[in-house]
Structure 1
Amino acid sequence: MQYITQHEIQSVYSMDDCIGDLKEGFRLYLENKTHAPVRTVLHHSHSEANTLFMPSYIEGLEYETVKVVSIFPNNPEAGIRTLQSVILLTETENGHHLATIEASGLTVMRTGAGAGVATEYLAKKNARKLSILGCGAQSRGQLQAVLAVRPIERVFLWNRTKEKAFTFKEEIQQSGWQGEVIVCETANKAASEADVLCLSSKSQEALFDVDALQPGAHINAIGSYRPDLKEFGADTLEQLDQLWVDTLEGTQHEAGELIQAANQGAWSWDKVNGELAELVTGDKPGRLNDKEMTLYKSVGVAYMDTITAARVYEKVTKNPANKHK
């Protein structure tokens, strides 16, 4: 069984690759060829940490995976990454375990790629300003994905701990991207600039007021993944023209913003326009005009891991540099 490192993934697999592979995964999902039960979440009593267990199988592709991802928010204080993940990839002809894949970076990439697909179908075509609220690990994938699908010229950052925003700013500038990066004093200020607004925090309170947003803004909300978390409020839900989710089943179990608003009678599930896969296949239309406010809510689904892990494995094993392994 092969072990695939983050370095090997980066050498053969790009954000463009990942966005394309997720589109294929969405199509297979609508063909009922993906099998991904709602993940198991273990809560650790001594902290706000969680460990997630995510199995999935894709027919036709004939791969299955189990991903284990640990999210320990206090780790940076000890110099350890918040998000740590590993994927076991198995082929389903004979059940051979093919590879163990270092998946922290791949998780960030595929979460970002999902938001990139949503941005492609839901954001204004001429979107040039991106704002990111929450500058942790997932913000990197959000940035890369939106840059891949829209001509972004300015990036606005906000984080409760301002130093993290400045660290991310420096990282972006050192990456070679030529646009302007601005750290904002408040979340509302960053939100007010956005053509595309990415939420990548683990907040329990809404990060911004809907009145701060420009007409036509698109929101990718990917940070909250538990019923007790919330990155946007009922005021945003009231103003939305379109609301899309990665999967309805997953969000009904885990999307805190939607669960809380529904339980309070402030919103109802019949207001969801559909699942992202329906935009990819053309079964439903996306943005209709430049004035609509749109939102994509994602809590993550395991078949995204299966298709990306399978493609990474295929690329790594076909890479001449890995023939000796």
Structure 2
Amino acid sequence: MDTLLLNQDAVDENTQMDEVIRAVEDAFAAYALGNAQMPAKSYIDLPQYNGDFRSMPAYMEADDWDAAGIKWVNVHPNNPDDFDLPTVMGTMVYSDPENAFPLAIMDGTELTMKRTGAAAAVATDHLAVEDATSLGIVGAGVQSYTQLEAIAEVRPIEEVVVSDLDEEAVAKFIDYFDDDFDVRAGSIAEAASCDVLSTVTPVETPIVSREDVGEHTHINAMGADAEGKHELADEILLDSKLVIDDHAQTTHSGEINVPYHEGVLADDDIDAELGDIVVGESEGRTETDGVSVFDSTGLAIQDVAAAHVVYEHADENDNGYPFDLIGSNVE
């Protein structure tokens, strides 16, 4: 039996975004219902290289499928300048839960982008106004693309405002989507006044103020993934319907980590975990809700769910490279 090697292009080709959104929603449900195992994300800090490694194992059961795997991912900010490598690289090992056979080794960087967009889409579907047609994006890096691709699957997005200090990145983003959406560059305030806002930056000082945000804007806070990162003003978090993906991760390294540890924000200020909303244990958007925020740190069950979709499509697309990883001398 062969293991399938799937590079970035293969992961991209095998990712049907609507299916990934449904699979990631299944993952949130499985977690809320106790049908998932997800040990805490572990870190190996490498200050001598200005970087770190993170390991993210998980297992989940959906209605008619289950999946297991582990993602090994790094964050090395010096990579682009020093080594001509991406800041973030990931490798996903996707295994058969029944017998532990490694079904596939796949590019985890592309997979992360897809599942991150899908997670924002799930949150948007439950928390944004039904007739949301405008999307603001702060940060025009690689993660911004799947934010638009995924959110457009759950809301009829027409207008997109993208804001970034890097004018070249903004121009590249606009050129990529210009045929499908009314995309324009704008200020942070213009982006934040849209029906939906996704923030995908690595900043440690908030860049979105309370005054910037529209009366009923839903915000996907996607950028914070380490201690000290913080994109939104504390007033936004305190005034909003605040939904998180996982308490341990968000208080450690999510958007709320700074105000939480400073005592500005407490557990009583958190309205729900997204999984509880998905399964109906907590309410999504109601008629009385104003601003809502989804604090996303990225969960290993999302990677496993997305990897399931990628692997299931690999045969029909006839891509990837099969190889004999385990060998024939099995006792």
The secondary structure found in structure 2 opposite 1:100 is: strand
Alignment-derived partner of residue 46 in structure 2: 44
* Aligned mates of 2:289, 2:70 — CA distance in 1: 41
- Residues 91-130 of structure 1 correspond to what in structure 2 (within 5 A)? 91-130=96-135
Shift of 1:261: 1.2
Give the TM-score, by structure 2 length: 0.89
1:19 partner amino acid: I
Shift of 1:210: 0.8
Alignment-derived partner of residue 321 in structure 1: 318
* Aligned mates of 1:64, 1:190 — CA distance in 2: 38
* Aligned mates of 1:274, 1:243 — CA distance in 2: 7
Per the alignment, do residues 44 and 292 of structure 1 end up closer, same or farther by CA in structure 2, a change over 3 Å counting? same
* Aligned mates of 2:320, 2:225 — CA distance in 1: 39
* Aligned mates of 1:117, 1:86 — CA distance in 2: 24
Alignment-derived partner of residue 302 in structure 1: 300
Where structure 1 has 5 or more consecutive residues not aligned to the other structure, the ranges are none
Shift of 1:267: 1.6
How many residue pairs are counted as aligned between the two chains? 317
Give yes or no for contact 1:227–1:254 (8 Å, CA) kept in 2. yes
Asked which structure has the greater RCO (Cα within 8 Å, sep 6+), the reply is 2
Shift of 1:6: 2.5
Alignment-derived partner of residue 73 in structure 1: 77
Alignment-derived partner of residue 189 in structure 1: 190
Pick which of 266-275 and 116-125 moved more. Answer: 266-275
Deviation readout 1:167-210 (Å, 9 max, x if unpaired): 2112222xx31x211112x3223223x11110101000101111
**Equivalent in 15, 24, 27 of residue 25 of structure 1:** 27
Where structure 2 has 5 or more consecutive residues not aligned to the other structure, the ranges are 323-331
Give yes or no for contact 2:10–2:319 (8 Å, CA) kept in 1. no
1:139 is the counterpart of 2:137: no
* Aligned mates of 2:136, 2:280 — CA distance in 1: 28
Pick which of 128-137 and 48-57 moved more. Answer: 48-57
Alignment-derived partner of residue 169 in structure 2: 164
Alignment-derived partner of residue 266 in structure 1: 264
Give the TM-score, by structure 1 length: 0.91
Shift of 1:59: 4.6
1:249 is the counterpart of 2:269: no
Per the alignment, do residues 324 and 189 of structure 1 end up closer, same or farther by CA in structure 2, a change over 3 Å counting? closer
Deviation readout 1:223-277 (Å, 9 max, x if unpaired): 111121111121212321x11111122212222x422212323221122111111
Give yes or no for contact 1:83–1:137 (8 Å, CA) kept in 2. no
Aligned Cα RMSD in Å?
2.0
